[in-house]
Structure 1
Amino acid sequence: MTRYSIDPDRHELIATWGTGEGDLATRVATLPAEAGTSVLLGLARALSLLSEAAWRTYTHPASAAGSQEPNSEGWRRERERGHFGEALDAIAKPNLPSGGSMVVSYSPLIESANRVGRALHHLDNPDLTKAVLAEAATELAAVESSELGDLGGRAQQAVLLSREDASPVQVAAADRLLEQNPFGTAELFSAVDPTAAAVAAAHWLAAAAEVTAEASGDDPAQVVLEADNIEALPHETPTLVLGLIEDGATRYDVVTGLVRHAMHVADGLLPDPAGLREQLENLEDALTEYTDDEEADPEDTGLRLTPLDPRRPARDLLEDLLTGIHGCWLLHSEYADLDTDEDLGDAQDWTDEQAEEHQRRSRDRFAQLVRDTAAANRDRLV
């Protein structure tokens, strides 16, 4: 979301937003010099709330809620998204106090727009009102562009957000980046919606696991866990994803399900009571075991409600999946590189440069095998 602030020295309203590579800022308008700081801060706060409400319609789309029946969650989300066309009108002509009362909207988006409008009404500056209306239109257009998979301009802030759905356009964009480099690129984090990027990364992880399993003889769902014996890896999430895919789940369903679950936890909801009950039963067994162990650390029995970081679930998942691909290469190289690169001489006599060349060749060979497997299974991407 875009955050708005006041520069008290220059009397300017400033907008800032993240891009995945850093934050950008722009001057929205010059503020009336005679206006009090409290009133101006109220305007900035209302604009920030408007942006937050608008972007929530992107991160929580109606399509991800299931039912669209009246009064259902999907129905409420669809109605909220439909208020975009009314938001600018609410800024221009807000609900004002009348007769000791005031109409307040149930819609967070519309009520935030009304708050912006009331702040502007109090300031009574036509030029400022015009500038704020243009800024609000820019922000709403950025959300609309993100929904279409176009993350240019202001819409680039979507790369920092977790979404319950994944745009096919963005999944395809991430797939092209991974085809260039199956180990991942910086652009996956700066140019693509992270949920969509994670869907593509899950597809490429599955391909990497298949290639590795053929070389090592291990179960494809267990290769990242095996790689943890070579190098310490965050293997839990990649192993979970591979297991779900092996059980027949689609890449899209696995990723959006995990991200949605973590987002619900972040919202204070309990999305899987049955799963929690099973975790609690396992925790009870663990507590009994640890009670008899004098050297046990009680913190080791902590219960995680989600395997992802609920503050940034999609990006956390993307990072873990790319690490999983790296883990697949580690294990693959243990089996497939035994008799390669003989032109470099005896491995025991390699210089640092020769060792680096061997590693580069190993990664290149593995990357090509993964490309071939991913391409052969492209129909499973979404």
Structure 2
Amino acid sequence: MTRYSIDPDRRELIATWGTGAGDLATRVAPLPTGPGIAVLLDLARALAQLSEAAWLTYTHPASAAASMEPNSEGWRREEERKHFAEVADAIAKPNLPSGGSMVVSYSPLIESANRIGRALHELDDSALTEAVLAETATELTAVENAELGDLTGRTKQAVLLSREDASPVQVAAADRLLKQDPFGPAALCSDLDPTAAAVAAAAHWLAAAADVTADASGHAPVHIVREADNIEALPHETPTLVLGLIEDGATPYEAVTGLVRHALHITDGLLPDPDALREQLDDLEETLAEYSDDEADLDNITLRLTPLDPKRPARDLLEDLLTGIHGCRLLHSEYDDLDHEDDTNAEDWTDEQAEQHQRRSRERFARLVREAAAAHRDRLI
């Protein structure tokens, strides 16, 4: 979301937003010299609240809800998204106190717009009002562009957000990047929506990498990353979970969006899967029963409600899955025939020979993964 600040010395309203590679800022408008700082801060806070409400319609789209029936969560999300068209009117003609009371909207988006309008009404500066209307239009357009998969300009802030759905445009873009570099180029994390990148790139290409490594090692694909953890410490739990979901018939889209949605619900203070929690509690009870009263250290026994970081679930998932691809290569290199084609004992290699060997091994693995990904392209959708 975009943050808004007041520069009290220069009397300026400033907007800032993240891009994945750092934050950007722009001056929205000069501020009138007469009013105190409090009303100016009210305006900045209301603008930030509007941005948060607008981006919530992007991270929690109606398309990701279980039902669109009247008064359901999906219906509520769809109605909130429709309010984009009413924001400008709410700012220009806000609900004002009358007779000791004031109309308050049920819509967080529209109520934020009303708060902006009331602050502007108190400031009574036509140039500032015009600038704020232009700024809110820019922010709403950024959300609309993100929905279309266009993450340029102001919309770049979407790369920092976790979305319950994945844009086909972003999925295709991520797939193209991984085709160029199956290990995950930097642009995958800096330029693309992380949920879409995890769907196309990480989950699909991780599955391909696991298949290639399974052929070389004889281990089942779902166990590959866990086996690689014996070579190098890896966050193997999440990649193994995703590989298991795909093995059970889930598509990369279903596996990734399901995990992200679950984590976002927990972030929102919801309990999305009571049955799964009951199973976790049963397992925890068994764990506690293994300790005697003298040995139990409850501080070291915890229960994770989600395998992902609830503050950044999509990016956390993407990073873990890319690490999983790296783990596949580690295990593949242990079994690949390329490792045994040199007559020279590896212990006698020069640094240059070792580097050449690593490069050939990496290139061979990348080629095999590209072939496997192409052969199973149908599972990407």
TM bin (shorter chain):
over 0.9
1:380 aligned onto 2:375: no
Partner of 2:228: 227
| Aligned residues of 1:262 and 1:313 also touching (Cα < 8 A) | yes
Distance 1:34 1:247 in 2: 66
**Cα distance, 1:349 vs. partner?**
1.2
SS in 2 for 1:82: helix
Distance 1:323 1:291 in 2: 38
After superposition, what is the alpha-carbon deviation per residue over 1:184-212, rounded to whole angstroms, capped at 9, x for unaligned? 01111111100000001100000000000
Distance 2:194 2:324 in 1: 16
SS in 1 for 2:28: strand
Counting only pairs closer than 5 Å after superposition, residues 25-174 of structure 1 correspond to structure 2 as 25-174=25-174
Distance 2:297 2:215 in 1: 39
Partner of 2:288: 287
Amino acid at match of 1:126: S
**Cα distance, 1:179 vs. partner?**
0.6
TM-score (normalizing by structure 2): 0.98
Amino acid at match of 1:266: T
Distance 1:209 1:239 in 2: 10
| Aligned residues of 1:290 and 1:298 also touching (Cα < 8 A) | no
**Cα distance, 1:339 vs. partner?**
4.3
Partner of 1:301: 301
**Cα distance, 1:288 vs. partner?**
1.4
| Aligned residues of 1:238 and 1:321 also touching (Cα < 8 A) | yes
| Aligned residues of 2:164 and 2:260 also touching (Cα < 8 A) | yes
| Aligned residues of 1:4 and 1:44 also touching (Cα < 8 A) | yes
Distance 1:11 1:338 in 2: 66
Counting only pairs closer than 5 Å after superposition, residues 309-324 of structure 1 correspond to structure 2 as 309-324=309-324
RMSD: 1.2
**Cα distance, 1:357 vs. partner?**
2.1
Amino acid at match of 2:177: L
Distance 2:160 2:341 in 1: 42
| Aligned residues of 2:83 and 2:110 also touching (Cα < 8 A) | yes
Partner of 1:214: 215
Partner of 1:191: 191
Distance 2:292 2:241 in 1: 29
Distance 1:117 1:290 in 2: 61
After superposition, what is the alpha-carbon deviation per residue over 1:138-194, rounded to whole angstroms, capped at 9, x for unaligned? 000000000000001000000000000000110000000111111101111111100
Amino acid at match of 2:304: R
**Cα distance, 1:351 vs. partner?**
2.2
TM-score (normalizing by structure 1): 0.97
Partner of 1:353: 352
SS in 2 for 1:83: helix
Amino acid at match of 2:226: L
Amino acid at match of 1:132: V
Number of equivalenced pairs: 380
Sequence identity percentage: 78
Amino acid at match of 1:93: K
Distance 1:12 1:353 in 2: 58
After superposition, what is the alpha-carbon deviation per residue over 1:4-60, rounded to whole angstroms, capped at 9, x for unaligned? 000111110000000000000000000011121001000000000000000000000
**1:292/1:353 Cα in 2 relative to 1: closer, same or farther (>3 Å)?**
farther
After superposition, what is the alpha-carbon deviation per residue over 1:81-125, rounded to whole angstroms, capped at 9, x for unaligned? 000000011111111111111111000000000000000000000
Distance 2:109 2:240 in 1: 40
SS in 1 for 2:290: helix
| Aligned residues of 2:339 and 2:361 also touching (Cα < 8 A) | no
Amino acid at match of 2:366: A
Long gaps (5+) in structure 2: none
**Cα distance, 1:347 vs. partner?**
1.1
After superposition, what is the alpha-carbon deviation per residue over 1:194-242, rounded to whole angstroms, capped at 9, x for unaligned? 0000001100000000000000000100000000000010000000000
Partner of 2:367: 368
User: Which piece of structure 1 moves more, 174-183 or 284-293?
Assistant: 284-293
| Aligned residues of 2:338 and 2:361 also touching (Cα < 8 A) | no
Amino acid at match of 1:268: G
